[in-house]
Structure 1
Amino acid sequence: MVGAGGIGCYYAARLIHAGHECVLVARGKHLQALQQHGLQLQHPQFVFDAPVIATDVAGLCQDYACEDFDLLILAAKSSATIPLMEQLQSWVVTAKTPMLSLQNGVTNEKHIAAIMGMERTAGGLAVKIGAHIVAPGKVEATGEAQIDFGAWPSAAANPGLQPLLAVLSPLFTEAGIPNTLYDKVNYALWRKLVINNGVNPLTALTLMDTQAVTSDPVLRHTVHRMMEETARAANIAGVSLTAEDVEQMFSLICRFDAIKTSMQVDREKGRPMEIEDICGPVIQYCREGGQPAETTELIRTLLLRASALDHR
């Protein structure tokens, strides 16, 4: 589990609890706590408090061979994908182990494939989950915590990987991780971006949780508009999303638990935010299509300005 933050720790804990061996790759005080005291995780339907095997990227490359693992799961921030893949490049090219991305955005798989090859690249995302490190070695999570995944960019374009993923799907289910295996995972990635672009930047800007944002009559309309812009960008990018997809994602986030998005938490803690990874593709493709994503561009600009003021 490369990038064992809140999301990564939740899924790792589920897999370990089900009897699978899992190495958590983390850093800083969180890594030290994992190594010294184990992982403590609280979820309404799942509690985990046990020792774990944890290391950093350098330790992973030094103490393990890539071929020791059946699967590499990347759950780091999207902004870390390129530097992490560069660090891992000489290590991953020695084997054929595939990597599954569980990250926000629609560009991570492209960066992974550039190093590992498309035949080893699986796209995926964590759905209906909120998970955050509340103290080093301690994680709180909520939601159904589903995984949507598939061979990237599709099973038809990458047929060799799909049989392994078909084995992985029931394994996730047995570990208490609901999941859907997609033939066209790019559809799932863009569909999740509809939610991420709809609420993440706005919650980070306002410092309001998802329920507060979607309950506000003005901000609720803004969320919907940003979701529509994301669907428009997806269609320009060649991924078909309909008005029905937008309505389903809007309904989902309006009914979901009141959570702080990862982008909101990052701003509160003074950490880099995934602004370009989430807003960037929407803005880029809408501009290319001659229909600028005006609301997304506005919220992005305000958020960048607010972040700059935070650090003055």
Structure 2
Amino acid sequence: MRFLIWGAGGIGCYYGARLQQAGHAVVYVARGEHLLALQQQGLQVEHENFHFAAAVTALDASQLMQQYCISDFDLLLVCFKSQATQPWLEECNSWLAAGQTPVLSLQNGVDNEPELEAVIGRARTLGGIALRIGGHIEAPGVITASGPAQIIFGAWPNRDQGEMNPETLQQIDVAFIEAGIPSRISENIAVELWRKLMLNNAVNPLSALTHLDTQTLSNHELYGPVVQQLMQEVAAIAAAEGLPIGEQDVAEMYGLICTFDGIKTSMLVDLEKGRPLELEGISGTLLKRGKKLQVPTPMTGLVYGLLNQQHETH
């Protein structure tokens, strides 16, 4: 298959390398020093069960749109931060509209798929999550990754209401699995996205505040109960929006995060590197939704406020 990885950072490069090593054609969209390194030295990925070092096809966004059509690809994987989704859709609208290639979001949050659907239509929109993976740019062109690195994806918003061709889903699933990426097609990807948001809201901002990894944070005497409450607030908003999510999901997600290998979250890495935080797409959207639905979110508000203040003072 022909894959386009847009936002070739830690996560995007890991999955791209897996697919490329399995024999698929992969094009990476990146920028800055990382892009130059990919073009001049190739891509290096280090993972406990996977090593990759090879030349890659890497371009910036303008080069990509000049040299390729959307129809040159069988799947576009969106791997950049959620705050970039709307500007990207506005900039690339006509390029995206010139074909029928499906687009799979592997981003954090629950706002990306509705934004994608509004521009490219439901029939081309795939929801997805990258689960149990830590991936970071160690140096330009060099990626370190850890964890099982599973992908769960499905027709947006679920199997019954989605318009994606089931054969296309199966073809993508097989490609992932054969490339060594644990993959599963979800019948209700909207629910999976909200379950992932539980994890992100619980540990991403809090890890940036405490500088602790996910396992240490979740099993901590003081912070563990905070992690649980942050998850409960997400579940309450999801339930108020009509999704079948409740205390059992909270228990499952908390059990999962406690037994994960400790991962350094993307928000902590962004804080350390002085990059913009993905706070609005995770906690910010919950505060807005909670206010609208009159669902209390005191702990999410506290963590959001503290992290915003800390980030502004630095």
Q: Same fold (TM over 0.5)?
A: yes
**Map of 1:277 onto structure 2:** 281
The Cα shift of 1:268 comes to 0.8
Query: 2 CA distance for matches of 1:278 and 1:291?
Result: 16
Q: Does 1:264 align with 2:268?
A: yes
Q: Which range moves more in the overlay, 157-166 or 47-56?
A: 157-166
Identical counterparts, % of pairs: 47
**Map of 2:100 onto structure 1:** 96
**Map of 2:244 onto structure 1:** 240
**Map of 1:79 onto structure 2:** 83
Structure 1 residue ranges (4+ consecutive) displaced by more than 6 angstroms after TM superposition: none
Q: What amino acid is the match of 1:243?
A: E
**Secondary structure of the residue that 2:99 maps to in structure 1?**
coil
The Cα shift of 1:281 comes to 2.7
Report Cα offsets for 1:139-187 as digits up to 9, x if no partner: 0000000001001111211233333112211111101010110111101
Q: Does 1:213 align with 2:213?
A: no
Query: 1 CA distance for matches of 2:295 and 2:30?
Result: 41
Q: What amino acid is the match of 2:56?
A: V
Q: Gaps spanning 5+ residues in structure 1: where?
A: none
Q: Gaps spanning 5+ residues in structure 2: where?
A: none
Report Cα offsets for 1:119-149 as digits up to 9, x if no partner: 1110001001000001000000000000010
Report Cα offsets for 1:226-265 as digits up to 9, x if no partner: 0011111111122111211111111111111122100111
TM normalised by structure 1 equals 0.97
Query: 2 CA distance for matches of 1:291 and 1:234?
Result: 10
Query: 2 CA distance for matches of 1:94 and 1:289?
Result: 38
Q: What amino acid is the match of 1:184?
A: N
**Map of 1:34 onto structure 2:** 38
Q: Does 1:168 align with 2:168?
A: no
Aligned pair count?
A: 310
Aligned counterparts, 1:1-312, within 5 A: 1-310=5-314
**Secondary structure of the residue that 2:144 maps to in structure 1?**
strand
The Cα shift of 1:62 comes to 0.2
The Cα shift of 1:66 comes to 1.0
Instruction: Confirm or deny: 8 A CA contact 1:150 1:162 kept in the other structure.
Output: no
**Secondary structure of the residue that 1:158 maps to in structure 2?**
coil
Query: 1 CA distance for matches of 2:243 and 2:37?
Result: 42
Query: 2 CA distance for matches of 1:280 and 1:237?
Result: 16
The Cα shift of 1:211 comes to 2.3
Instruction: Confirm or deny: 8 A CA contact 1:106 1:190 kept in the other structure.
Output: yes
Q: Which range moves more in the overlay, 222-231 or 154-163?
A: 154-163
Q: What amino acid is the match of 1:277?
A: G
Instruction: Confirm or deny: 8 A CA contact 1:236 1:285 kept in the other structure.
Output: no
**Secondary structure of the residue that 1:22 maps to in structure 2?**
strand
Instruction: Confirm or deny: 8 A CA contact 1:120 1:161 kept in the other structure.
Output: no
Instruction: Confirm or deny: 8 A CA contact 2:230 2:300 kept in the other structure.
Output: yes
Query: 1 CA distance for matches of 2:252 and 2:150?
Result: 16
Query: 2 CA distance for matches of 1:94 and 1:236?
Result: 38
Instruction: Confirm or deny: 8 A CA contact 2:125 2:164 kept in the other structure.
Output: no
Query: 2 CA distance for matches of 1:244 and 1:269?
Result: 36
Query: 2 CA distance for matches of 1:24 and 1:221?
Result: 40
Q: What amino acid is the match of 1:187?
A: V
Q: Residues 300, 43 of structure 1: CA spacing in aligned structure 2 closer, same or farther, 3 A cutoff?
A: same
Query: 2 CA distance for matches of 1:207 and 1:81?
Result: 27
The Cα shift of 1:222 comes to 0.5
TM normalised by structure 2 equals 0.96
